[in-house]
């Protein structure tokens, strides 16, 4: 049987599949890990999920998501920091290696991109030691520039790296998601510079036309424009030794059964990534 | 009256407006220039358009568009080079300062991004002297990364600059379109490095949600996330002395009368750009 032990399955790829079933199926299929999201974890019960993944022998390669640090006023920013502290505690409870940070877009009505980026840096500075104490790495996720205004003002690997490097590697790293970074002319150079800062590696594929809102039109691994095998090799050449996580937001996939989507993700991973 | 002499109106912003009317209205409103597209110019007749803009005392700040250099086979790439030669001749006939290059996406079915970028570099190398002889600057337009797979594999100002710098400044420059580059963390640094390589400056605004296909959802100047005034200042600080061209692809604007859209663009330019 082909080896899936380096593969992790992000639960949002089959978001309507109850977590206990998803975890059981991932383990039975021979996967090495799962990526989790806070809301479904809370619905199932965090203690229960923590027990299930441990019993199944699965790594939790990521917990999604912290971040959303950009807010118009100090009180709102304080609330978000507090929420991120809870997320860090949840990640620690689950044994998750990273908390993924989707850093937030421009505050409503604002055009102050530099200011928003400053808010992100300030928030990470405040949270980094707390994350380190909990054994959780904050994984800054540079978002595709098409999300700059409304989801994530950290737009490139280089920008994420320069921000992460202000902190110890045990506190802050960078998540490399193929969907967000595949186009970057600096990709190879930045991966080499990132080295041990790579805190996670996610794959899906780039397919067009993009749907309205550009959020839920990701392609299954292997059906799009990204040379995922070459990217996986570059990521590993930089020293990354973690799992490869399949994370796909797709209205088309969400209509199908979770077990079918998992099976397809495994096949496509073997055909196009390893 | 407020000064519109540094403003140019790209005809695609009101694409259903007959060119002779558009040119006449732009001149009457006190604009300094127009940006033109090959197909409507051909429909009206290139000699006639050349005469109209000259008689109206308008600059032609750009001719759109050349490029689309990426093709699966050598014969198709040769056809595109030939078509770009014709576009350069048309630009010269119109007195256009630049031919805008939308360089092309990945060839169908290809995942070889480096290869596609190589095709672009090869094509520009072949065309640059021909452009220089005709007094036309090839303006490489870095495209927003959301167009990387299907329209333009040149994705950042830095990448465009490094490519342009292989050639004399009189042959190859870079078009700075706010929509494509506003998110770039290297924006200010790259504009400073570009200096006299900036061959044109286009504005519109970034509004969300993006529509299906992400092509025709640009915002009117001033209604979105981009700090256009700050960007215009940076562009001018780098030494750019050309006009600011309003270019907006918007299904919403295309439903309105051209004269109404031109009037609104002028008002918004005065309120948000100068």
Which CATH fold topology does A7-272 show? TIM Barrel (3.20.20)
Contact residues, chain B, for A182 at CB < 8 Å: 113, 148
Domain locations along chain A: 7-272
Whether complex ipTM tops 0.90: yes
Separation CA B60–CA B186 (nearest Å): 29
Inter-chain CB proximity B225 and A156 less than 8 Å: no
Residues in chain B, pLDDT under 70: 1-2
Q: Do B145 and A227 touch (CB under 8 A)?
A: no
B186 vs A: CB within 8 A: yes
| DSSP SS3 for A29 | coil
CA distance A115 to chain B (A): 12
Kind and range of the H or E run holding A177: strand A172-177
Work out the number of other CB atoms within 10 angstroms of the CB of residue A101: 31
Total residues found in chain A within this entry: 274
Tokens of B190: 């790259």
- Mutate which: A116, A185, A230, vs B, most B CBs within 10 A: A185
- How many Cβ atoms from other residues are within 10 Å of residue A12's Cβ? 18
Per-residue pLDDT of chain A (274 residues; tens, 9 = 90+): 469 999 999 999 999 999 999 999 999 999 999 999 999 999 999 999 999 999 999 999 999 999 999 999 999 999 999 999 999 999 999 999 999 999 999 999 999 999 999 999 999 999 999 999 999 999 999 999 999 999 999 999 999 999 999 999 999 999 999 999 999 999 999 999 999 999 999 999 999 999 999 999 999 999 999 999 999 999 999 999 999 999 999 999 999 999 999 999 999 999 999 9
Angle at A175 between CA A157 and CA A230, to 5 degrees: 75
**Whats the size of chain B, residue-wise?**
274
């Amino acid at each position: 049987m082909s080896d899936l032990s380096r593969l992790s399955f992000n639960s949002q790829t089959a978001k309507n599949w109850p977590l206990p079933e998803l975890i059981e199926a991932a383990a039975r299929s021979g996967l090495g890990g799962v990526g989790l999201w806070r809301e479904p974890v809370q619905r199932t019960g965090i203690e229960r999920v923590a027990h299930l993944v441990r019993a199944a022998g699965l790594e939790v390669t990521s917990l999604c998501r912290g971040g959303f640090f950009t807010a118009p006023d100090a009180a709102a920013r304080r609330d978000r920091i507090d929420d991120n502290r809870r997320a860090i505690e949840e990640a620690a409870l689950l044994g998750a290696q990273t908390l993924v940070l989707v850093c937030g877009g421009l505050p409503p009505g604002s055009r102050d991109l530099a200011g928003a980026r400053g808010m992100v840096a300030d928030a990470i500075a405040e949270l980094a030691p707390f994350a380190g104490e909990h054994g959780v790495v904050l994984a800054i996720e540079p978002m595709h520039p098409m999300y700059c205004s409304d989801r994530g003002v950290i737009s490139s690997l280089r920008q994420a790296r320069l921000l992460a490097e202000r902190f110890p590697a045990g506190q802050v790293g960078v998540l490399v998601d193929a969907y967000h970074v595949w186009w970057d002319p600096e990709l190879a150079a930045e991966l080499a510079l990132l080295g041990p800062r790579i805190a996670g590696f996610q794959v899906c594929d780039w397919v067009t036309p993009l749907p309205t809102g550009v959020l839920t039109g990701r392609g299954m691994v292997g059906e799009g424009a990204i040379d995922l095998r070459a990217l996986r090799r570059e990521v590993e050449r930089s020293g990354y030794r973690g799992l490869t996580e399949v994370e796909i937001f797709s209205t088309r996939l969400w209509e199908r059964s979770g077990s079918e989507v998992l099976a397809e993700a495994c096949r496509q991973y073997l055909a196009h990534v390893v």
